[in-house]
């Protein structure tokens, strides 16, 4: 909305899903905030707030809750700084993990020797000396996190780790101090191993997350730091961010294009594979579009900048992928509700297990082991990571294939689609129609073309551009008045003559007799051509037949959708006969033709009323209402910005073949999320009772807890093997 702003924050200090849930509540209470999504996997928060809301208040609220936040501006420096901080944090964790392992190893050796019946035993005071730095120096992060969490009124993973390891450490320390140390009442190795294993899990998890955000880093590397710009008759190097619209940028062979623009001189080929997914080089000549981040071939190009900085294609793609990775899928809200009550429930289970074993069964040793194991094993990290990890990898894979997914809602909903509605012009066809015939009632084809071109001078409509291209070099007449008739045509006064140009519907509204040229019109429509009528008053002056070639991949895309169990429908404002010819050539059986732009959304709503899950595919401004009305809107990246804003998915290079791929990656990602959630829930369903029954030791519990989070992220990373069929 125009009166709202979107603010992205990089969050540090989160340890589990409960942290993310708590932060959402904290941010949601800041004045002016309408919604807040916090993603544990990407460590980002996306806040939608009123334009007057103070960003400083958001940062202050996060810090008061015990975390830290940095505002992300979307600029190179901000993103690079965030990446550098994450890399430093991982290196620090690795160093602490190595130290913890070195101190814990002798304690583990004693435990193994005891289990094997060997006489090796550490002096109790040495075990205390080894365990203390692990507990309070290396494990200080857990105490800090637990304190901040409890201070904020909610428990998290750190609380469970601190309760379990502290109980094991302090009971063991008391036994050492009082001289009661023995093989059965020292648990130093349990506390130290749990902390070490949790740190190991965090390191592996952080590295897996970094792999999951690889798509963003790959896109960031595509942006050149400098551009060669023509200034005052010479070429100078300036920062790419300083290029202004209208500047002419010189791109040498092998260099990356620094800005979006139009080629004004030179011929070459460009590799756009990492941006659009197009595997073959794209020919470039004067008038051809140039995309920032693409690699120039063997020719020298001069490119006039049109979109620079944050508005360039590559930056818009980065923002869209980041937005999708920071958003929250509907299924995640269930997980958040569970995570909010998880820690108190686990503490209650641990206390109950201790009471039953100690009081009812008279076994305080097993009671202690069971309680500590319950606290250690019940980490909600796997639940918290199950959905966002899948979304991060899925959206990244989609971006590498030239598919931009706006948010997690679109990603999750797309797998349910069972009918796809295609706009015709620019979606299934090239969108670059050309005049193939001019038929004048009086035989004066040149005069009819001049009138039609004059009436449409300056229009951006594809059919108008085709007429103007055909009339190139013709001396056009001045236009006294002009009125667009949405979805039907236009009315204009040219050379004192009141003309109407457009569809048969418009002619019927004006009472124009078309019988004299009906046969010619039927012949062209039978060949799949669009017919524009030109009339003066009630008299038909003639017709202009325009052909728009079908995209080569359209038929294959429709066939692929059919094999996926998805029906294809064509929705167009064109004459029914012309639309049906194109549909038959592509393989579409159902055609809804002669539909006004304002009625397209109603047609989509009617399909939804049949109980269908509808995806609408379009590229024009007039498609925006239908895109918004559909369950999933899919925009062609070669179309209008309005269409892309209304859509949940954008196909960057405007290729229909990407649509089955987009729905395929949605199905694959949703399947991974379901797998992750199943195993995360199953892990807790099995592990908690086993721990409470005394079947697990704290060491085994710590290892299982750490590996559960790693397994969830690793399973999500398998999505990177996905390939479009």
- Residue 237 CB burial class (10 angstroms; 0-12, 13-18, ≥19): exposed
Q: What is the pLDDT of residue 7?
A: 84
Contact 495, 476 (CB under 8 A): no
Q: Which two tokens stand for residue 271?
A: 């590799």
Q: Kindly report the pTM of this predicted structure.
A: 0.62
Residue 20 in tokens: 């993310």
Residue 293 in contact with residue 315, Cβ under 8 Å?
A: no
Strand partners for 261: 290, 305
Rounded CA-CA distance 661/353 in Å is 50
Q: How many CB atoms lie within 10 A of CB 308?
A: 23
The token pair that represents 24 in the structure block: 């959402």
DSSP code per residue over 175-207: HHHTT---TTS--HHHHHHHHHHHHHHHHHHHH
In this structure, the dihedral spanned by the alpha carbons of residues 467, 468, 470 and 471, taken in order and rounded to 10 degrees, is: 120
Dihedral pair phi/psi, residue 603, rounded to 5°: -65, -40
312: CB partners within 8 A, 6+ apart: 259, 260, 292
pLDDT score for 323: 63
Classify residue 344 as left (phi > 0), alpha (psi -120 to 50) or beta: alpha
Residue 89 appears among annotated catalytic residues: no
Q: Are the CB atoms for 20 and 74 separated by under 8 Å? A: no
Q: Which residues of the chain have pLDDT under 50?
A: 77
d(CA 616, CA 152): 45
Q: Which two tokens stand for residue 663?
A: 């729905």
pLDDT at 552: 87
Which residues lie below 8 Å from residue 689, measured CB to CB, with a gap of 6+?
A: none
Length of the chain: 725
Helices (H), 267-380: 273-276, 313-326, 330-355, 364-377
Q: Phi then psi for 246, rounded to 5 degrees?
A: 100, -20
Burial 475-503 (b: 16+ CB within 10 A, else e): eebebeeeeebebbbbbbebeeeebbbbb
The two structure tokens encoding residue 287: 């008038």
How far is residue 376 from each of residues 39, 150, 288, 662, measured CA to CA in Å?
24, 17, 61, 40
Query: Rounded to an integer, what distance in angstroms lies between the CA atom of residue 148 and that of residue 626?
Result: 48
**Starting at the edge strand that comes first in sequence, how are the strands of the sheet with 44-50 ordered?**
33-39, 44-50, 4-12, 68-72
Q: Which domains does the chain have, with CATH numbers?
A: 4-72 (3.30.70.100), 83-215+328-394+668-721 (no CATH), 224-312 (2.70.150.10), 403-429+550-652 (3.40.50.1000), 434-547 (3.40.1110.10)
**Catalytic option among 423, 574, 619, 655:** 423
pLDDT at 569: 93
In the chain, the largest separation of any two C-alpha atoms, in whole Å, equals 117
């Amino acid at each position: 909305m125009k009166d709202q702003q979107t603010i992205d924050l990089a969050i540090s200090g989160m340890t589990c899903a409960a942290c993310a849930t708590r932060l959402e509540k904290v941010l949601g209470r800041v004045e002016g905030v309408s919604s807040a999504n916090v993603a544990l996997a990407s460590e980002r928060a996306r806040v939608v707030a009123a334009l007057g809301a103070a960003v400083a208040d958001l940062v202050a609220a996060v810090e008061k809750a015990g975390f830290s936040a940095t505002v992300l501006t979307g600029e190179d420096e901000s993103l690079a700084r965030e990446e550098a901080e994450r890399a430093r944090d991982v290196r620090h964790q690795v160093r602490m993990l190595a130290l913890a392992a070195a101190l814990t190893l002798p304690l583990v050796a004693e435990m193994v020797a005891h289990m094997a019946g060997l006489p090796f035993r550490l002096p109790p005071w040495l075990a205390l000396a080894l365990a203390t730095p692990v507990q309070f120096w290396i494990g200080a992060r857990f105490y800090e996190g637990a304190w901040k969490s409890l201070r904020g009124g909610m428990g998290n993973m750190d609380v469970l780790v601190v309760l379990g390891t502290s109980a094991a450490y302090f009971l063991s320390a008391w036994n050492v101090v009082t001289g009661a140390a023995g093989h059965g009442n020292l648990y130093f190795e349990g506390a130290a191993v749990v902390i070490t294993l949790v740190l190991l899990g965090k390191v592996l998890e952080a590295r897996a997350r970094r792999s999951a955000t690889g798509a963003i880093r790959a896109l960031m590397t595509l942006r050149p730091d400098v551009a060669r710009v023509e200034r005052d008759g010479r070429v100078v190097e300036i920062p790419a961010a300083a290029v202004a619209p209208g500047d002419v940028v010189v791109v040498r062979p092998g260099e990356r294009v620094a800005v979006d623009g139009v080629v004004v001189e030179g011929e070459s080929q460009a590799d756009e594979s990492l941006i659009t997914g197009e595997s073959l080089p794209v020919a470039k000549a004067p008038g051809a579009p140039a995309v920032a981040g693409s690699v120039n071939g063997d020719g020298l190009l001069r490119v006039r900048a049109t979109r620079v900085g944050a508005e360039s294609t590559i930056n818009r793609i980065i923002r869209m992928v980041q937005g999708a990775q920071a958003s929250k899928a509907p299924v995640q809200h269930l997980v958040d509700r569970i995570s909010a009550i998880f820690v108190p429930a686990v503490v209650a289970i641990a206390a109950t297990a201790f009471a039953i074993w100690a009081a009812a069964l008279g076994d305080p040793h097993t009671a202690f082991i069971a309680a500590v194991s319950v606290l250690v094993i019940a980490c909600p990290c796997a639940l918290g990571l199950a959905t966002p990890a899948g979304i991060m990898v899925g959206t990244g894979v989609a971006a590498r294939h030239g598919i931009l997914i706006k948010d997690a809602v679109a990603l999750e909903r797309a797998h349910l689609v069972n009918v796809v509605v295609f706009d015709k012009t620019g979606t299934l066809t090239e969108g670059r129609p050309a005049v193939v015939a001019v038929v004048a009632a009086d035989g004066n084809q040149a005069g009819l073309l001049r009138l039609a071109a004059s009436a449409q001078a300056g229009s951006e409509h594809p059919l108008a551009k085709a007429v103007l291209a055909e009339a190139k070099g013709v001396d056009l007449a001045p236009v006294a008045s002009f009125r667009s008739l949405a979805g039907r045509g236009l009315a204009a006064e040219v050379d004192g003559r009141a003309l109407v140009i457009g569809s048969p519907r418009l002619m019927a509204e004006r009472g124009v007799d078309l019988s004299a040229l009906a046969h010619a019109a039927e012949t062209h429509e039978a060949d799949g051509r669009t017919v524009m009528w030109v009339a003066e008053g009630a008299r038909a002056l003639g017709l202009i037949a325009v052909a728009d070639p079908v995209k080569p991949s359209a038929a294959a895309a429709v066939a692929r959708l059919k094999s996926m169990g998805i029906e294809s429908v064509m929705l167009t404002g064109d004459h029914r006969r012309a639309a049906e010819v194109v549909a038959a050539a592509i393989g579409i059986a159902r055609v809804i033709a002669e539909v006004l732009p304002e009625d397209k959304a109603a047609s989509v709503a009617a399909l939804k009323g049949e109980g269908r899950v509808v995806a609408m595919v379009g590229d024009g401004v007039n498609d925006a209402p239908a895109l918004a009305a559909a369950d999933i809107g899919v925009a062609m990246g070669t179309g209008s910005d309005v269409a892309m804003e209304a859509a949940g998915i954008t196909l960057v290079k405007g290729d229909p073949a990407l649509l089955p791929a987009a729905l395929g990656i949605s199905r694959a990602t949703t399947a991974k999320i379901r797998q992750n959630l199943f195993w995360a829930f199953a892990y807790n369903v099995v592990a908690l009772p086993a721990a409470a029954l005394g079947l697990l030791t704290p060491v085994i519990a710590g290892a299982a807890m750490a590996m559960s989070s790693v397994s969830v992220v690793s399973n999500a990373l398998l999505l990177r093997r996905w390939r479009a069929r």
